[in-house]
Amino acid sequence: MNASSTPATVVEFLVRNVREQPDKPAIWFRRSGGIVERTWSEIGRDVVRAGQALASLGVTPGDRVAFISSNRYEWPICDLAILGIGAVHLPIHNTLTGPQMRFQIADSGARVVIVAGDEQAAKLAAADPLPPNIRFVSLDATKVPLGGAAIPQLSELAALPDDAAFSSGLDRLATATRADALATILYTSGTTGEPKGVMLSHGNLASNAAGMVRDFDGPNESQSDRRLNMLPLSHIFARTCDLYACLVGASELAFADSPQTAVADSVTFHPTFINAVPYFYEKVMRTLIDDGRANIPGALPEMLGGHLRCCCSGGAPLPTHVAQFFVEHGLLLIQGYGLTESSPVITMNTPRVFRHGTIGRPLSGVEVRIGDDGEILSRGPQIMLGYWNRPEETAAALQDGWLHTGDLGEIDADGFVRITGRKKELIVTSGGKKIVPSAVESLLTSDTLIRQAAVIGDGRNYLTALVVPNRDALAAALVDAGHAATSDDACRHPAAEALVLERIRLRTTNLSHYEQVRRIALVEREFSVEREELTLTMKMRRATIAANFAAEIERLYAADAK
């Protein structure tokens, strides 16, 4: 496909595939214990039907439609239907709490909310009332009412189109949107802890997916690939690099039941390509080593289905030793880099051109430079329109057309980019989850038992915290719980950590599971300016704290390293 004929939106890619190869398998998934296959034609009919159902609810171009579901066949159907009628898709992470979901729905001004079923409906029902005049619809039958009424099923609102209606529906899909129109809003953590809505256009999404497929495979674009999707489609990484890449390449997508079943699902679906976060690859490596199979020839490729030509990592830094382990055991593992604000891919390694320890080279048509302060800056057709209703934050992130990524880096003589640090304070776990530590810490220190707290978790699988307790209050709480304790020995009391951790869990009950603090270490002295752990304005110097308490932090994660 030459540049002049490249579709301008991901919906146009769908229409192209339906018309050019209607009977080619496109999506595979499990349902009712069996494996189900859907062709491009079947997908197109389901998208047209879902678009008609949304139109019957009064959805018009520009309206925001929230969608709350784990990965399933209906996820891409609803996504493409929303985009195909010119509405704006607001995908909400299925793991969020009810109040977190409510914030995004209210902040975006969503007109319709699609839930998967009982679980998501119950979360919203338990949250504060949503703004009036929102229509609710579900994928599965549910008895949980929302907005004072029963929730209809999406499938009840429109029938499968006949051939004539299908053909005209495809025509509408191909022409309903423009490349410069807003396509989606994705909420991501901000520096204040309150999520910001990243606005991406149809052109942002299509150009990024097309550029990634083109650069990755070169001129010989493969339509025989089968990607295994294990990451949430509500994140832009999986949405662009799994779903939209399959639309662009007219290749196949197989849904894993969950990230936890991805290894078994690989054996079932025999993917040729996997996108995952570093934690998945580390877990695969540890499993082979622990089982004594690491030195068996072919054990690693066989473990992942036996047909992989490449594995890609994103969402968090990939440890070089993990990439080397994969290469030494018969599989190429490379990494790329991006942000939600960049749709997401900015740079990537490819099977033809890669360098371990780097995040690759910029996509064709994407510019990357290093700012005067060492920050990685990027501009190109993939850069967001801005933040929803946040002009000041948009102006700070986009300066003279350049996206300020918040990451520090360098570019070598061959154009490979390397990340050297993080300018922003966000924690990025090994699973790719982004967390604002100050927001979690403020909840911890709101408890009378806790004077100071430093949340740890960058590059790790879960959060821990260094906690400086109020010794007098901790001793009193231990005594109230039936233990003999004094202020001097409260930190060292055998029951102290469990007591404080329980108080933390109560304070953070409305946070998502990946924002929860799993383990703590009680610190007997306060963080101080004298030790350069605090600035003169009492802001934490996280790197210094991590260095000063390195032994305590390693003990918090020691059980996972065995």
From the number of C-beta atoms within 10 Å of its C-beta (0-12, 13-18, 19+), residue 271 rates as: buried
CA distance 17 to 26: 9
Tell me the DSSP string of 328-355.
HTT--EEEEEE-GGGSSEEEE--SSS--
Q: Is the pLDDT of residue 561 over 70?
A: no
Question: Could you tell me the pLDDT band of residue 33, with boundaries at 50, 70 and 90?
Answer: confident
Place of tokens 């220190």: 445
Interval 37-46: pLDDT, tens: 999 999 999 9
The percent of residues in the chain predicted with pLDDT above 70, rounded, is 96
In this predicted model, which residue has the larger pLDDT, 316 or 134? Answer: 134
Averaged confidence pLDDT in the chain: 92
Pairing of strands 226-229, 252-255: parallel
Note if the pTM is more than 0.95.
Answer: no
Report residue 5's pLDDT band, with 50, 70 and 90 as the boundaries.
low
**Amino acid 6: pLDDT:** 74
Tokens of 182: 């807003």
| Predicted pLDDT at 190 | 44
- Strand (E) or helix (H) holding 548: helix 542-548
Query: pLDDT, tens digit, for every residue of 96-150?
Result: 899 999 999 999 999 999 999 999 999 999 998 888 899 999 999 999 999 889 9
- Pairwise CA distance, residues 7 & 249, whole Å: 12
Residue 359 or 562, more confident? 359
- Show Cβ contacts of residue 168 under 8 Å, excluding neighbours closer than 6 positions: none
Beta bridge partners of 519: 464
Instruction: Provide the 8-state DSSP code for 218.
Output: T
Residue 2 has a pLDDT of 36
pLDDT reading at 435 higher than 90: no
Could you report the per-residue pLDDT of 224-272, keeping only the tens digit for each?
A: 899 999 999 999 999 999 999 999 999 999 999 998 999 999 999 999 9
DSSP output for 69-134: --S-THHHHHHHHHHHTT-EEEEE-TTS-HHHHHHHHHHHT-SEEEE-SHHHHHHHHHSSPPPTT-
pLDDT, position 201: 98
Q: How far is CA 231 from CA 190, 197, 373, 397, in A?
A: 22, 20, 33, 27
| Domains along the chain with CATH numbers | 3-177 (3.40.50.12780), 210-428 (3.40.50.12780), 436-561 (3.30.300.30)
Confidence of residue 218 (pLDDT cuts 50, 70, 90): low
pLDDT confidence of residue 191: 34
